[in-house]
């Protein structure tokens, strides 16, 4: 046998042994790695310095909600509207998106709830219930009788409508994308005839004065904000749990009864059309307490509904 043949045989034997070793690697795989037929469930974690999108510009109540939930940590990135804020999350540009979803006076915000109901990749990672103090903001030195135009988000307008009717009945009220956007527009106006309904924080950001404070209808005015994320929703019981139930309105009472029989208190129910036929809705249901186990019990008791788990989460 010549030297070349011996060398080739030795090389072939080495390759065979190496491949045999490769075939045995899955048996010695490290704990926690994926293996065929075994589902791996990750526990959601909060980045130390999260990137968070929110309804801008700077000075909105949504920005304030970001600071409350993340305790001032991370970077908050203002977006033109809520849809853009959610899209930044879907595109992987941020870790979280914070959106307003219901106000005690103005009620639920349908187009914002649609982002939660119809975007199936999202889950709810947290909630903020923020006390809201609406103020009339204008350039320094502006008197109430000077004001002819008032800008604000539709929720700010709704919350201050009674006050406006009593004190500025002839003013033109113009809806804009956010309370802070209204403040920015009032600040950039050429004269002192423009004002905005917004926060005292927005007044500081845009160099305005508070002409009248606490103009909302109720001193108990609050807005509820959702903190949205991608990936796996938390499953362990927390302050709140939410899910989407799609089905017929006639079955809703039974669904809510089964939630209560599971020991859960129903906090909110918001309906959105399924866009299929009359009487068929997607309900966003939020309950106090519970986690995935409670959700499974509700799902088992309500086979007529298509249900989607949105997560269990803390409220701050």
- pTM value is 0.81
**What is d(CA 55, CA 57) in angstroms, rounded to the nearest whole number?**
7
- For 135-212, CATH gives 3.40.190.10
The answer to whether residue 29 scores a pLDDT higher than 70 is: no
- Given this model, what pLDDT does residue 141 score? 95
Using DSSP bridges, classify how beta strands 209-212 and 135-138 pair: parallel, antiparallel or unpaired. Answer: antiparallel
Q: What is the pLDDT of residues 36-63, one digit of tens each?
A: 333 344 555 667 799 999 999 999 999 9
- Does the CA dihedral 167-171-173-174 come out positive or negative? negative
Domain 48-131+219-231 homologous superfamily, CATH: Periplasmic binding protein-like II (3.40.190.10)
Q: Go through 158-179 and write b for each residue having 16 or more CB atoms within 10 A of its CB, e for each that does not.
A: bbbbebbeebbeebebeebbbb
Domain boundaries, the chain: 48-131+219-231, 135-212, 233-316
Q: What is the pLDDT of residues 61-99, one digit of tens each?
A: 999 999 999 999 999 999 999 999 999 999 999 999 999
> Which architecture characterizes domain 233-316 according to CATH?
2-Layer Sandwich (3.30)
Q: Give the CA diameter of the chain.
A: 110
Q: Are 48-131+219-231 and 135-212 equal in CATH topology?
A: yes
């Amino acid at each position: 046998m010549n030297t070349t043949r011996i060398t080739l045989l030795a090389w072939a034997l080495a390759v065979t042994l190496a491949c045999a070793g490769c075939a045995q690697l899955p048996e010695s795989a490290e704990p926690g790695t994926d293996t065929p037929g075994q589902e791996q469930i990750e526990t959601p974690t909060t980045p130390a310095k999260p990137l968070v999108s929110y309804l801008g510009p700077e000075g909105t109540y949504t920005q304030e909600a970001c600071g409350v939930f993340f305790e001032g940590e991370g970077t908050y990135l203002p977006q033109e509207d809520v849809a853009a804020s959610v899209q930044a999350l879907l595109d992987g540009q941020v870790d979280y998106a914070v959106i307003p979803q219901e106000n005690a006076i103005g009620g639920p915000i349908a187009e914002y709830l649609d982002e939660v109901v119809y975007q199936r990749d999202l889950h709810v990672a947290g909630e903020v219930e923020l006390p809201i103090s609406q103020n009339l903001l204008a350039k320094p030195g502006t008197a109430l009788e000077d004001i002819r135009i008032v800008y604000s988000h539709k929720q700010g307008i709704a919350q201050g409508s009674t006050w406006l009717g009593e004190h500025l009945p002839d003013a033109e009220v113009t809806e804009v994308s956010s309370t802070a956007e209204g403040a920015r527009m009032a600040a950039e106006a050429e004269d002192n005839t423009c004002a905005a309904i917004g926060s005292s924080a927005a007044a500081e950001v845009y160099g305005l004065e508070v002409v009248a404070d606490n103009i909302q209808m109720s001193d108990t005015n609050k807005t509820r904000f959702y903190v949205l994320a991608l990936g796996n929703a938390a499953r362990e019981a927390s302050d709140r749990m939410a899910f989407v139930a799609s089905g017929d309105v006639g079955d809703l009472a039974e669904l809510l009864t089964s939630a209560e029989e599971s020991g859960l208190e129903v906090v909110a129910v918001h309906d959105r059309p399924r866009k299929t036929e009359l009487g068929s809705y997607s309900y966003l249901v939020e309950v106090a307490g519970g986690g995935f186990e409670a959700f499974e019990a509700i799902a088992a008791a309500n086979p007529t509904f298509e249900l989607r788990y949105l997560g269990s989460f803390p409220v701050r």
